[in-house]
Amino acid sequence: MKALKLIGLQIKVNFGISALRWYLKNDLKRFFGSVGLVLLVAVSIGPLFFLYLSMLQSAYDLAGALGQPGAIIASAVVLSSLLVLVFGLTYVMSVFYFSKDLSLLVPLPLLPGEILGAKFTVVLLYDYLTAAPFYLPALWVYGVNSGSGPLYWIAGIMIFLLVPVIPLALTSAFMLLLMRLTNLSRKRDTLRLIGLFVFLAILLAVNFFLTTIPAGEEMQYLEKILLAEEGLVHHSTRAYPPALFAARALTAGGVESLLNFAWFLGISLAGAALVLWLGQRMFFQGLIGASEVERGKTLSREELARRTAGASSPALAIAMREIKYLLRTPIYLFNSLAMIAVVPVVLLISLITGGGLESLLSILRDGAPRMLQILGGAAFIGVMALFTPAASSSFSREGKLFWISQVIPVPPQEQIRGKMVYSLLIAALAVPVVALAGILLLSWGIVDVLLAALAGMVLSLPAITSSLLIDLLRPYLTWDNPQKAIKQNLNVLFGMVAGGGLYYLLYLAGRYVYESTAALLSVYLVVLGGAALAGWTLYLVLMKIAPARYRDIVV
């Protein structure tokens, strides 16, 4: 009973249920505003959802013609589980170890397993939101097309409730071990960050090596898959074997379905039990030292005088403050750099395993003009800026300490410039990736690299300025653990949608110019000119509204 009450309390706190009830009774404008934001997000991702649904229907038609329609269920379970595993890394760390309620929960007469179990439940509920858009459409497509009965739908919902459990258990077990091993180290933040990236790299490497088709044997391998019974299902689940039990539980029928469901249920319960067992023994040990601050370096009078003798520009000081805050918070650093780190790993593994990347490189080397290659590299830098939450959570990450930015003797316009510099520096981390890929794979020269880097910085401006504007207009400052400033911040999603819309307009403009003139230089100039104009316009809007917004925001 005590554990159930704790779970209920955690759900109310993390999902804002109590706040919504208060808004419903006392502030209808705020209540409908919150509900409206959720509806707006649903509408904004609606086109992508229907595109995914149509892709699943096509996949079902193809797999059904081969006599293996269950492959879409297996693939959906694998995809959902992989997303839970990857995106759950920093969220588990944040909820387990950096929630502000830990200072209240730890002194209470609660077992470590009870606290961890409540937090595990909260993360699991969030993971249902991650898995639902990818699993439920596949369940619908298979069930409708196969004419499945009520038992299928009941089993499908039960499988859905179990899908995130195993990957979340793996992530939680890894995080418990990582925090336990690094909690007393002076470099614990660095070690934890390295651990997160190593875990992610191993995960991607294992996935690629298990699913790659042997080079030179493509036709024989594909023929073997297509002719074997459930060959597609087995191939789809090689990287994640539990998905095979989930797929068979829904598609095999009869006693075999029951047996496979029992296996999937048993593995899921075993994973949850492992987390509780480890939590009982390691959770409190991992918390030791979490709130300690390392003593700063003692400065001599001469060193102090030297450091305070000069002054840097306010914008640069703000940018350096943002960078230091990023480096001192592993959760922010991992979320900001994960995409930039993952893409090179994926490309490298694809080259090593002999995937389809080699044929694509041949087309780029032989068929794509150098100007188009450079524009493609610049577009990559811009897209990385779009998917990096550095700008879209810039104000929100300050949380309840935003009042410091309101009272320091630095004008809001200078602070905006500093955040622009910081966001551009984060975007610039993609430049070495483009440079190495261009030099090693496409035989670029130094001039090509410089042009791609410069164009990439220009193309990153629309994403950065639109994201900063959105976060300034509605900063999320009331989070209780740092992960929420990014993962539960709708500004990050709105920033991606807004920046993506601007990039789509630039793409349409570039395509129109190319169809009209067939001149790549004109496309280059129009796309970069449009990006610069959009970025400058939004920058001027930021400068105009910054003083009023800094004054009106209430922490």
User: 159-218 pLDDT, tens per residue?
Assistant: 999 999 999 999 889 888 888 887 766 677 777 777 877 887 787 777 767 666 655 565
Could you say which DSSP state residue 312 is in?
-
Q: Give residue 105's Cα distance to chain centre.
A: 29
pLDDT at 359 over 60: no
Res. 460 pLDDT band, cuts 50 70 90: very high
Task: Tell me the average pLDDT of the chain.
Answer: 80
Summarize the confidence of residues 268-292 as an average pLDDT.
79
pLDDT computed for residue 195 by the predictor = 80
Cα gap 446→127, rounded to integer Å: 45
- Class of residue 31 by CB neighbours under 10 A (exposed 0-12, middle 13-18, buried 19+): middle
Summarize the confidence of residues 33-54 as an average pLDDT.
69
Give the Å distances, CA to CA, from 201 to 86, 176, 339, 519: 10, 19, 12, 41
- Higher pLDDT among residues 134 and 98, named by residue: 134
pLDDT computed for residue 538 by the predictor = 93
Nearby residues of 180 by Cβ (< 8 Å), 6 or more positions away: 282, 285, 286
Question: Per-residue pLDDT tens for 398-447?
Answer: 888 888 888 888 899 999 999 999 999 998 988 988 888 888 777 888 99
Cβ atoms of 205 and 212 within 8 Å: the answer is: no
- The reported pTM is 0.71
pLDDT at 289 over 60: no
Summarize the confidence of residues 340-369 as an average pLDDT.
59
pLDDT at 354 over 60: no
pLDDT computed for residue 207 by the predictor = 72
Res. 312 pLDDT band, cuts 50 70 90: low
pLDDT at 243 over 60: yes
Cα gap 478→16, rounded to integer Å: 11
- Pick the most confident of 87-96, 108-117, 367-376, 464-473: 464-473
Cα gap 360→418, rounded to integer Å: 39
pLDDT computed for residue 217 by the predictor = 60
DSSP per position, 315-381: HHHHHHHHHHHHHT-HHHHHHHHHHHHHHHHHHHHHHHTT-THHHHHHHHHHHS-HHHHHHHHHHHH
Cα gap 5→430, rounded to integer Å: 47
Res. 74 pLDDT band, cuts 50 70 90: confident
